Amino acid sequence: MKIHVLQKEVIDFAKGLLNEMIAEKLDVENPSFDPSNPICIADLGCSVGPNTFYAVNNIIEAIELKYKSNPQTPSFHVFFNDHTTNDFNTLFKTLPTNRKYFAAGVAGSFHRRLFPNSTLHFVHCSAALHWLSEVPKELKDRNSLAWNKGSVLHTSPVKEVREAYSAQFRKDMEEFLSGRAQELVRGGLMVLIVQGLPDGVLLSETTVGMGFCVLASCLDDMAKTGVVSAEKVDSFNLPFYHPSSKELRALIETNGYFHVERIEKLSTPWRHETPDLQLVGMHLRAVIGGLIEEHFGDEILDDLFQRHIKKLGESAFIYDEKYRKEANYFVFLKRKGVVSAEKVDSFNLPFYHPSSKELRALIETNGYFHVERIEKLSTPWRHETPDLQLVGMHLRAVIGGLIEEHFGDEILDDLFQRHIKKLGESAFIYDEKYRKEANYFVFLKRKVA
């Protein structure tokens, strides 16, 4: 099976969950999702296709379904992102001709900001987040406890090596999540498909981890026969990290910008198939060939990958299903700013609107004043059609501070936009018969005794 075919299967398995979660979590009442504006989708780490086209198509179909009962369906703008070195020409040449979206490319690392504030509605990122922005420096430092001599990944029994990899992943994810948090609208959605490990399982206990140990031993053999220098081998490490679902959840929660709506391990039926070693070799070469070439030069590529396939074929683990424990996690996140039910339940405004009878009664009970006059003031504007923008501005000026104090400032725009929108759709706001509020003029005189 070709590399992109395997990953396409993962995207296919995620499709059911994607439909379910979009149906449940996309809020078409959220003004940011108003169908008169385009829905902006970004696929981060898109590569050259075609998987990105399937993923984008799945997302658009699920969103369209959500707007089915709406008189208007939105248009879609899709941004394809990958490193500047990605072959965007191939991607744009092979864009599906029957696509239902406008397409644009955005080149650069997703560990940085890629889009202006609040411009995306949906972010997708599959099989890319395990790529670290860099190899942790201490892995190459002979004087560090995390010196990763003899390994090329976090397969080493040395805990400092795993910690260095895990710390780099945490840092990268923090940048990734914080960047996306600025770019997504409030209530915006994000799907991550992350290559990881089951909780409590080490990479060295899996087929993938053992396969990389075999690769490290091939490099070691080549160093012993002088094909490559030992120093070059000792300083080579791959920039990949495979987190557990617990780790993923913890770091998303620590980041704090997103609600974790779902984390689920996707099914991987190919784990029951006997691996085709030629394909495994091709797959690995497609993924790490560039990194090997960059570090050792291209002259070792054929030799290294041939040795690797040979050694894999001689290893019992590669045929043993029990080691195929790697996990693909489906992670569905929603940008916070849409508030918790608990917060809503505990929010009340400190206002009260008395009747004139109530006012009179309590002044009289107090006893210090003569009530000289209580009169309802005329409110000629009750006959005017309300200007909803003004109503909104007025309300925000009055209660904005209280809302901010209770919910935080990030919900203010969203809340008041929703409010104006809903008011505009309500019949009562245009119906004079409900404008019964009274402004009372109360004139009191201090009693003499």
Ligand X SMILES: C[S@@+](CC[C@H](N)C(=O)[O-])C[C@H]1O[C@@H](n2cnc3c(N)ncnc32)[C@H](O)[C@@H]1O
Query: Cβ closer to ligand X: 9 or 138?
Result: 9
Q: Is the peptide bond before 50 cis (omega within 30 degrees of 0)?
A: yes
Query: Cβ closer to ligand X: 109 or 156?
Result: 109
Contact in structure between 19 and 65 (CB atoms under 8 Å): yes
Residues in binding contact with ligand X, number by CB under 6 A = 20
CA distance 365 to 171: 65
Best CA proximity match to 443, nearest among 352, 353, 370, 376: 370
In whole angstroms, the minimum distance from the beta carbon of 44 to ligand X comes to: 6
Give the pair of three-digit tokens for residue 81. 């992102």
Residue 41 near ligand X by CB under 6 A? no
CA distance 362 to 343: 34
- At residue 27, the 3 state secondary structure works out as coil
Query: Cβ closer to ligand X: 46 or 177?
Result: 46
Phi and psi of 281, rounded to 5°?
-60, -45
Pick from 14, 22, 26, 46: which binds ligand X (CB under 6 A)? 46
Query: Cβ closer to ligand X: 44 or 338?
Result: 44
Residue 82 near ligand X by CB under 6 A? yes
Residues in region 396-425 near ligand X by CB under 6 A: none
Residue 127 near ligand X by CB under 6 A? yes
Helix (H) or strand (E) holding 309, with range, is helix 301-313
Pick from 2, 20, 23, 83: which binds ligand X (CB under 6 A)? 83
Contact in structure between 120 and 41 (CB atoms under 8 Å): yes
What is the DSSP code string of 349-360? -------HHHHH
Residues composing the chain: 449
Closest residue to bound ligand X by CB = 45
- The CA distances from residue 231 to 34, 220, 240, in Å, are 58, 10, 21
Mark residues 85-124: x for contact with ligand X by CB under 6 A, - for none: -x----------------------xxx-------------
Query: Cβ closer to ligand X: 155 or 195?
Result: 195
Region of 41-49, 242-250, 323-331, 395-403 interacting with ligand X (CB under 6 A)? 41-49
Pick from 30, 32, 126, 245: which binds ligand X (CB under 6 A)? 126
Region of 76-84, 93-101, 269-277, 299-307 interacting with ligand X (CB under 6 A)? 76-84
In whole angstroms, the minimum distance from the beta carbon of 87 to ligand X comes to: 9
Residue 7 near ligand X by CB under 6 A? yes
Q: Which residue has the tokens 């993962």?
A: 10
Residue 31 near ligand X by CB under 6 A? no
Region of 15-23, 82-90, 299-307, 418-426 interacting with ligand X (CB under 6 A)? 82-90
Best CA proximity match to 330, nearest among 271, 269, 266, 267: 266
Pairing of strands 440-446, 76-82: unpaired
CA distance 5 to 11: 10
CA distance 157 to 145: 12
Mark residues 129-158: x for contact with ligand X by CB under 6 A, - for none: --x-x-------------------------
CA distance 12 to 266: 10
Pick from 40, 63, 128, 173: which binds ligand X (CB under 6 A)? 128
Query: Cβ closer to ligand X: 47 or 156?
Result: 47
Pick from 30, 32, 47, 168: which binds ligand X (CB under 6 A)? 47
Pick from 32, 52, 168, 328: which binds ligand X (CB under 6 A)? 52
Residue 234 near ligand X by CB under 6 A? no
First to last CA, the chain: 99
Residue 248 near ligand X by CB under 6 A? no
Contact in structure between 148 and 160 (CB atoms under 8 Å): no
In whole angstroms, the minimum distance from the beta carbon of 184 to ligand X comes to: 17
Give the pair of three-digit tokens for residue 245. 């679902």
Provide the binding-site residues for ligand X, judged by CB under 6 A.
Answer: 4, 7, 44-47, 51-52, 81-83, 86, 109-111, 126-128, 131, 133
